Chains A and B, each alone.
Chain A
Amino acid sequence: GAVVSQHPSWVICKSGTSVKIECRSLDFQATTMFWYRQFPKQSLMLMATSNEGSKATYEQGVEKDKFLINHASLTLSTLTVTSAHPEDSSFYICSAKPPSASYEQYFGPGTRLTVT
């Protein structure tokens, strides 16, 4: 099956610093990748959709200058949380969609971010 990895799986950072999270599709090329955020006991919320080589499309209410997304290749997308604050602490999950897929997204294992 298709495999998506995320790195790091867990990160702690101090308030005001920036954190980069990587999402990689290991055995397929992903023209589209998605970034979600999940707070405890809440549903996954789509933050943005990124297509390789173009700017990401952000969902309403998501600050694009705070959550920088780069989809530089067909197997890698990165999410950078800039000037992180404690309220940014969450579980960040990416998913990737192969060009041949009509609906299926393959999810990474997630990255738990804690901002102190």
Chain B
Amino acid sequence: QKEVEQDPGPLSVPEGAIVSLNCTYSNSAFQYFMWYRQYSRKGPELLMYTYSSGNKEDGRFTAQVDKSSKYISLFIRDSQPSDSATYLCAMSEYRDKLIFGTGTRLQVFP
């Protein structure tokens, strides 16, 4: 079993839709949770960071962490074609060593 599981997609939605991206994990010691966006052939860019459980909102993005279920989510409201990218979840015990999911490819069509 992988430490972090993420549906690879692709997920295709119309512009304006609410997008839900999810990851599950097996290591209960993880306490730092992040979402990265990666455009094709580019390095990942940090979108959201959450420590321990709870919700965090930043503009159109909301990150949720449910440690009891070992489940994290990223919601994107009013999705735009420019949101089309691969979204990677990442988590760690000690802040430095990040364990990544495989990424979910999102396509937002006009």
Residues of A within 8 A of B (CB): 4, 6, 32, 34, 41-46, 49, 91, 93, 95, 97, 102-110, 112
Can you show 27 pairs from A to B with CB atoms below 8 A apart?
Answer: A4-B43, A6-B43, A41-B8, A43-B88, A43-B100, A43-B101, A43-B102, A43-B103, A44-B98, A44-B100, A45-B100, A46-B99, A49-B96, A91-B41, A93-B43, A95-B43, A97-B96, A102-B95, A103-B34, A103-B95, A104-B46, A107-B36, A107-B43, A107-B44, A108-B43, A110-B43, A112-B41
Known: A97-B96, A104-B49. A110 touches B88 (CB 8 A): no
For the complex, is B78 an interface residue (Cβ under 8 Å from A)? no
For the complex, is B4 an interface residue (Cβ under 8 Å from A)? yes
Interface size class of B (residues with CB under 8 A): 20 to 34
Provide the bound-state CA to CA distance between A4 and B43, in Å: 9
Provide the bound-state CA to CA distance between A47 and B59, in Å: 34
Provide the bound-state CA to CA distance between A45 and B101, in Å: 10
A contact residues around B45 at 8 Å (CB): 107
Within 8 A of A (CB), among B2-20: 4, 6, 8
For the complex, is B71 an interface residue (Cβ under 8 Å from A)? no
B97 in contact with A43 (CB, 8 Å): no
A110 in contact with B42 (CB, 8 Å): yes
For the complex, is B32 an interface residue (Cβ under 8 Å from A)? yes
CB distance from A76 to the nearest CB of B (A): 17
Known: A46-B98, A112-B41. A103 touches B4 (CB 8 A): no
Provide the bound-state CA to CA distance between A93 and B44, in Å: 9
Known: A4-B43, A110-B42. A43 touches B49 (CB 8 A): no
**Shortest 3 CB-CB distances between A and B: which pairs?**
A107-B43, A43-B100, A44-B100
CB distance from B24 to the nearest CB of A (A): 14
B43 in contact with A103 (CB, 8 Å): no
B contact residues around A34 at 8 Å (CB): 96
Provide the bound-state CA to CA distance between A108 and B44, in Å: 8
A contact residues around B46 at 8 Å (CB): 104-106
